[in-house]
Amino acid sequence: MNQEYAKLIIGDKTIELPVLNGTEGGKAVDISRLYEEHGLTTFDSSLANTAFCKSTITYIDGDEGILRYHGIPIEQFDRPKPNFVEVAYLLIFGKLPTTNELADFRTRLTDNELLHEGIRRQFNDLPPKSPPMAILSAMLSQLACYHEKFLPLGDDELFVEAVARLVSKARTIAAYSYRRSQGLPFTYPDPNMRYCANFLHMMFSIPHLQYTVSEAVEDALNLVLILHADHEQNCSTATVRVVGSARANLFASCAAGVSALWGPLHGGANVEVMRMLEGIHVGGMTPEDCLEAAKDKANPFRLYGFGHRVYKNYDPRAKILRAACDRVFAALKTPDPLLDIARKLEEIALADPYFIDRKLYPNVDFYSGILLRAMGIPTNMFTVVFALGRLPGWISQWKEQHDDAGQRIIRPRQLYTGNNLTHYVPIEDRE
Ligand code: SDX
């Protein structure tokens, strides 16, 4: 196919820039040599118009509301039953596992579910109200202290072992952060349990009273984790790529991803959605008040769980989660008034010109918290569950970048708008 070019005319210069083509019709103007050859940079402060990598992992069509992992639509991952470990394997290794590959991956996760007692003992010294996201980020980084053998890059077997430790121990750390906050004794993982059931066991079993995992809840948690598993170059994934581009190890890179995800504009939104819905439920405000506050430019409040940088249509994950709420509440026979409030909020927002004009629709965070709450997971753990789901995505993107021979350290330029040349003034001469 003939190479297509874009022309950049600046002053009396015309610069020809190659056009790159993506699989699903995406096009990108390649400016990789613009500064080197013409001393020019482009300006795109939130990188909203900039592809900073090529990737084969996840495809999103924001206008059509499409999300696919390695080409498979996310709507197909709950057949016959949602299986997060299988999807984690797909994302990390680039293919759906055979029966033996899945069994081997499961065994590696089980073999690595315990924490080193040195890490576990540290939980005792944490303040009880420690934010679980702070604990998760700190403890993931600490894995480098106890599993230093898996820090070197470039060895595939070491990588697989590092992945098993990260994916399995993150779940144990998450459950322990909850137990610490409740003043409850730690419940050790049960090697006979599947990934999600084991997490629920570590969260809710108490001595002499094993938590009974219902199939509906286990399936719902698998589904929630699958829907959060990857989402191309979102804020936290881009963070993992930036940190990984310096050849930082996998544990450190994912710990950085946790910190980025914590932000209320990103993964922390699921906590804000719950606060918003509970505020309406207790009577502090009406759904209409919420919308007015969200539309008021003088008010920093946003309609959390609404809007998206890429989706200008209904987030496909929100659609699936919305339907899953009905299924889980029917199975558990525990209706939640917050679901009705969420539905009402969605209904009036989608009819409001402010939201229509800006193409603001429910995103993944709008219904996820209601589902997690139905499972008994407290609000301050919502973003931690998001992180457990996103971990395979971070790992896959980190590895894809690491394996790209053309990848360099990510170091953006800037447009300097500060002082021209000035000079140091001795303190006695300053007024
Ligand atoms: C996630 O990127 C990903 O893929 C993220 C994620 C993933 O899986 O990794 O999908 C997960 O982070 C989902 C998003 C969770 N965050 C929220 O729900 C917080 C509320 N949403 C917004 O803050 C906002 O929509 C963002 C942060 C999600 C997107 O912000 P953008 O792309 O920078 O959009 P913007 O702020 O430029 O908004 C455009 C306009 C603005 O109004 P005008 O200046 O045109 O008048 O829409 C308004 C915004 O004020 N707007 C909102 C709004 N979202 C956008 N107004 C009120 N409430 C909102 N929620």
The residue nearest atom 2 of ligand 1, judged by CA position, is 234
pLDDT digits (tens, 9 = 90+) for 274-303: 999 999 999 878 999 999 999 999 999 999
The residue nearest atom 42 of ligand 1, judged by CA position, is 358
Task: List the one residue out of 378, 392, 399 whose CA is nearest residue 174.
Answer: 378
Q: Say what the pLDDT of residue 332 is.
A: 87
The residue nearest atom 22 of ligand 1, judged by CA position, is 307
The residue nearest atom 43 of ligand 1, judged by CA position, is 358
With a Cβ cut-off of 6 Å, ligand 1 is lined by 231, 234, 265-267, 269, 294, 302-310, 358, 360, 363-365
Residue 163 alpha carbon to ligand 1 centre in Å: 32
Residue 360 alpha carbon to ligand 1 centre in Å: 8
Distance CA 244, CA 239 (A): 8
Q: Collapsing DSSP states into helix, strand and coil, what is residue 137?
A: helix
Element of type H or E holding 69: strand 66-69
Please say if the pLDDT value at position 107 is more than 90: yes
Q: What CA–CA distances, in Å, run from 98 to 76, 79, 86, 88?
A: 17, 16, 9, 13
Amino acid sitting at position 385: V
| Ligand 1 atom nearest to CA at 315 | 10
Please say if the pLDDT value at position 372 is more than 90: yes
Sign of the alpha-carbon dihedral angle for 183, 187, 193, 199: positive
Task: List the one residue out of 300, 318, 299 whose CA is nearest residue 308.
Answer: 318
Q: Say what the pLDDT of residue 153 is.
A: 83
Amino acid sitting at position 175: A
Please say if the pLDDT value at position 186 is more than 90: yes
| Ligand 1 atom nearest to CA at 232 | 4
Reported confidence tier of residue 150, pLDDT bands at 50, 70, 90 = confident
Q: Collapsing DSSP states into helix, strand and coil, what is residue 326?
A: helix
Distance CA 250, CA 366 (A): 30
Distance CA 388, CA 166 (A): 10
Please say if the pLDDT value at position 79 is more than 90: no
| Ligand 1 atom nearest to CA at 358 | 47
Task: List the one residue out of 92, 55, 78 whose CA is nearest residue 319.
Answer: 78
Which of 55, 233, 292, 308 to mutate to test ligand 1, by most ligand atoms within 8 A of the CB atom?
308
Please say if the pLDDT value at position 248 is more than 80: yes
Do the Cβ atoms of 217 and 327 come closer than 8 Å?
Answer: no
The residue nearest atom 47 of ligand 1, judged by CA position, is 358
Average pLDDT over residues 157-164: 96
Amino acid sitting at position 35: Y
Instruction: Give the angle 277-281-286 at the CA atoms, nearest 5°.
Output: 80
Residue 309 alpha carbon to ligand 1 centre in Å: 6
Please say if the pLDDT value at position 111 is more than 80: yes
Residue 130 alpha carbon to ligand 1 centre in Å: 28
pTM above 0.85, yes or no: yes
The residue nearest atom 25 of ligand 1, judged by CA position, is 307
Q: Say what the pLDDT of residue 152 is.
A: 83
Q: List strands edge to edge, sheet with 13-21.
A: 5-10, 13-21, 27-29
Q: Say what the pLDDT of residue 355 is.
A: 97
Q: Say if residue 287 is preceded by a cis peptide, omega within 30 of 0.
A: no
Reported confidence tier of residue 89, pLDDT bands at 50, 70, 90 = very high
Answer left, alpha or beta for residue 359, where phi above 0 means left and psi between -120 and 50 means alpha.
Answer: left
Q: Say what the pLDDT of residue 1 is.
A: 74
Residue 141 alpha carbon to ligand 1 centre in Å: 29
Joined tokens for residue 293:
């506050």
Catalytic residues: 308, 365
Joined tokens for residue 394:
């971070």
Residue 355 alpha carbon to ligand 1 centre in Å: 11
Q: Collapsing DSSP states into helix, strand and coil, what is residue 125?
A: helix
Q: What are phi and psi of 14, to 5 degrees?
A: -115, 120
pLDDT digits (tens, 9 = 90+) for 381-391: 999 999 999 99
| Ligand 1 atom nearest to CA at 273 | 18
Q: Say what the pLDDT of residue 358 is.
A: 97
